[in-house]
Amino acid sequence: MSSTPTVEVHRTVDEVARATAARLVTRLVDVQSAGRVANIVLTGGSIARQVHRTLRDSPAVSAVDWKRVQVWWGDERFVPASDPERNELQAREDLLDALPLDPDKVHPVAASDGSYGDDPDAAAAGYADELAGQSTPEDHGDVPTFDVLMLGIGPDGHVASLFPEHPALHETRSVVAVRHSPKPPPTRVTLTFRTLARAREVWFLATGDSKAGAVRNALSGAGQLQVPAAGPRGTERSVWLLDHEAAAALPKQLRYPGAR
C-alpha cells in the first residue's frame, strides 16, 4: 500500500521549519506511546538544517524519549568524518549533540576515512548490514520500517542521492554507492528506492522558487527515473511541506485541495 500525497503550504521557510519540527515531536511521541522504538531517517540540505535547529530550540523537544529513537540517514556525502559537507556532522552540530540519544541507536554512514577506508561500496554494504541488523521479523525484509523519512529535494528532482537517470535508480540492493553525482561531492552513499519505500511516513521538505518545477513534476505524474522525488511514498502518509515559492507552480487543486 502506498499513500496519496498531501500538500501543506506555509508562508515562509521559518514556518515550514516550525511545522516540520512540531510534526516530528508529535509523530515520535505517538510512536513511543504505542510502545515502539521510533526509527527516523534524516536528510541533508538547508531546510533540513533549519528543521534540526528549530527542533533543538523548541521547548517541546523534551516530550520525546530520545533514548528510544533510532537515527538513520537517507544519504551521505562520502567525505572524511571532519568534512563540514557531511550530513552527519551537520546534524550532530544542529541537533543530535543536544539530545540525550543512545549512541548505539545513531547510525551514520561510514566516512571516507572511517572503518571501511576510502571504499564507498564497502561503506554502502556496511550500512546495508547495519540496517539488516536492526530489522525485525515484522519488517519482512532486511530493512527496519521507518516511522518518518524526511527527504529534501533538489531543483533537478533528486532525493537522497538518487539523481535523475542515474544507474543507482535501478539498484535492487538496499544501499549503494553513487559515483559521478551531478551535484558535488561526486561520491556518495544512498538508500535506494526499495529502502525508501520502507517508511510509514515520507515527508518531503522543499522551499524556494528553484524547487517549484521539481515539486510540480513530482506531484503531476512524472516518472521516478526522470524525477526521483516522484518515487518514494509512505505506506501510511506522504506529505509535502512547502513554502509558497516551492508551491508556486502547482496546479491550484494541489495547492488548495479543497478548491475547485
Task: Note the residues at the interface with ligand 6PG (CB under 6 A).
Answer: 43-47, 152-154, 161, 183
Nearer to ligand 6PG, 70 or 161 (CB): 161
Of 12, 254, 50, nearest in space to 150 by CA: 50
Closest approach of ligand 6PG to the CB of residue 46, in Å:
3
Nearer to ligand 6PG, 156 or 201 (CB): 156
Q: At its nearest, how many Å lie between ligand 6PG and the CB of residue 68?
A: 26
Furthest CA-CA distance within the chain = 56
Of the pair 47, 110, the CB lying nearest ligand 6PG is at 47
For residues 12 and 46, which CB has a smaller minimum distance to ligand 6PG in the complex? 46
Shortest distance in whole angstroms from residue 79 CB to ligand 6PG: 11
CA distance 167 to 179: 10
Nearest CB to ligand 6PG, comparing residues 141 and 155: 155
Torsion angle (degrees, nearest 10) of CA 9, 13, 221, 165: -170
Q: How far is the CB of 5 from ligand 6PG (least distance, A)?
A: 18
User: CB-wise, 46 or 62, nearer to ligand 6PG?
Assistant: 46
CB of 56 to ligand 6PG, least distance (A): 17
Cβ at position 43, least distance to ligand 6PG in Å? 5
